[in-house]
Amino acid sequence: MAEITLVEAVNQALAHELAADPRVILFGQDIGANGGVFRATDGLQKRFGDERVRDTPLAENMIAGIAVGMAVQGLRPVAEFQFMGFIYPGLDHILSHAARYRNRTRGRLSCPVVYRAPYGGGIHAPEHHSENTEAIFAHIPGLRVVVPSSPARAYGLLLAAIRDPDPVVFLEPKRIYRAVRQEVPDGGEALPLDRCFRLRDGSDVTLVAWGAALKETLEAAEALSAEGIEAEVIDPATLKPLDIHTIIDSLEKTGRCVVIHEAARFAGLGAEITAQINEYAFDLLKAPVQRVTGYDTVMPYYRLEDCYLPDGERILAAVRKTLDYPAGGDR
């Protein structure tokens, strides 16, 4: 079986669901003949026709809004935004409507839509192309926020997102769209939503990260291992609703936790994870939870983006800080 990249896995999942379910409709800007600016929809219009894989006029608010109308009529719309930074005009529809239809109508109408957007920095893109604002969506009741971090999880989680009866914001870490190749059987098997994935076992410290940041996180875990420090690495994958129990279970073993994300720190998901750990597992902690995040600044143009994004050095420093806590004291 051929090995495929994360973006090819997205394409494979979309093709699978288009073939399996006539209610599935793809639409967005440039997704047709062009196959999407990242080629996530490459070849799909040719294969499934332009009624099912449609280019829209250029209006993100419109894309978000018509998806709601399609979904409440029983279709399974999958809307593509070219970059997460362009999704903001559609927030009104995603937050005020997609997230609330089921509740507003007491279950009479639901909104099974998937909003897909490439997200994150690190590809030397212009301003507004490198956003990491998953916390905006995670804060909203009624939404699911899913971030895959490997080709297999992109395939399995996207299938699950399309089949889910509720709205899902599916954020694709574009920095790792083509970073690794993996065999991903096209068997139509979904991965569970609302569950963390344990990517690495360890007993000394728990590292929680998602999306592209897992690349540096896993590398850091390997570096630590060489020093005899075993890090457990957890990918929440579904950021909302968050499976905190898997993280707490890990803390039972390690007692130490570092959360790594590319988004700005203030009110980012690291804050929520830290708060839940404090609520549920304060007694397990041997050290305060550390966060390694983007800074509370505007994401800089690309000459400075490497300074903004968490790197291995910052992750290792945070791990050492938890291991050395209290500084100079007992370990």
Q: What is the smallest separation between the CB atom of 306 and other proteins, expressed in angstroms?
A: 34
Based on the shown chain and the rule CB under 8 A, indicate whether residue 185 belongs to the binding site for other proteins: no
Q: What is the smallest separation between the CB atom of 326 and other proteins, expressed in angstroms?
A: 32
Based on the shown chain and the rule CB under 8 A, indicate whether residue 203 belongs to the binding site for other proteins: no
Based on the shown chain and the rule CB under 8 A, indicate whether residue 243 belongs to the binding site for other proteins: yes
Q: Which of 164, 204, 235, 262 binds other proteins (CB under 8 A)?
A: 164
- Strands 238-240 and 144-146 turn out to be antiparallel
- State both tokens at 61: 């608010």
Produce one character per residue of 66-103: b if its CB has 16 or more CB atoms within 10 Å, e if not.
Answer: bbbebbbeebbbbbbbbbbbbbbebbebbbebbbbbbe
Give the x-and-dash track for 72-91 against other proteins (CB under 8 A): xxxx-x-----------x--
Residue pair 231/198 in contact (Cβ under 8 Å)? The answer is: no
| Residue 319 to residue 312: CA distance in whole angstroms | 10
Q: Which of 3, 92, 296, 324 binds other proteins (CB under 8 A)?
A: 92
- State both tokens at 143: 């939404």
Residue 184 or 273: which CB sits closer to other proteins? 273
User: What are the CA-CA distances from residue 237 to residues 125, 146, 208, 233, 292 (Å)?
Assistant: 24, 6, 10, 12, 18
**Residues 123, 128, 132, 136, Cα dihedral to 10°:** -160
Does residue 16 have an active-site annotation?
no
| Residue 266 to residue 135: CA distance in whole angstroms | 10
**Residues 80, 133, 235, 144, Cα dihedral to 10°:** -60
- State both tokens at 127: 């301003």
Q: Which of 30, 37, 39, 56 binds other proteins (CB under 8 A)?
A: 56
Residue the block writes with tokens 């993996």: 182
Q: What is the smallest separation between the CB atom of 30 and other proteins, expressed in angstroms?
A: 15
Q: Which of 16, 93, 97, 129 is catalytic?
A: 129
Q: What is the smallest separation between the CB atom of 194 and other proteins, expressed in angstroms?
A: 5
Give the x-and-dash track for 267-306 against other proteins (CB under 8 A): ----------------------------------------
Neighbours of 16 (CB within 10 A): 19
- Judged by CB under 8 A, which stretch of 13-21, 48-56, 151-159, 315-323 contacts other proteins? 48-56
Based on the shown chain and the rule CB under 8 A, indicate whether residue 67 belongs to the binding site for other proteins: yes
Count of residues that bind other proteins according to CB under 8 A: 49
Residue 7 or 247: which CB sits closer to other proteins? 247
| Residue 104 to residue 120: CA distance in whole angstroms | 32
- Strands 205-209 and 257-264 turn out to be parallel
Residue 89 or 300: which CB sits closer to other proteins? 89
Q: What is the smallest separation between the CB atom of 138 and other proteins, expressed in angstroms?
A: 11
Residue 125 or 259: which CB sits closer to other proteins? 259
The residues binding other proteins (CB under 8 A) are: 22, 25, 51-52, 56-57, 59, 61-62, 65-75, 77, 89, 92-93, 96-97, 101-110, 141-142, 144, 164-166, 194, 240-245
Known catalytic residues? 129
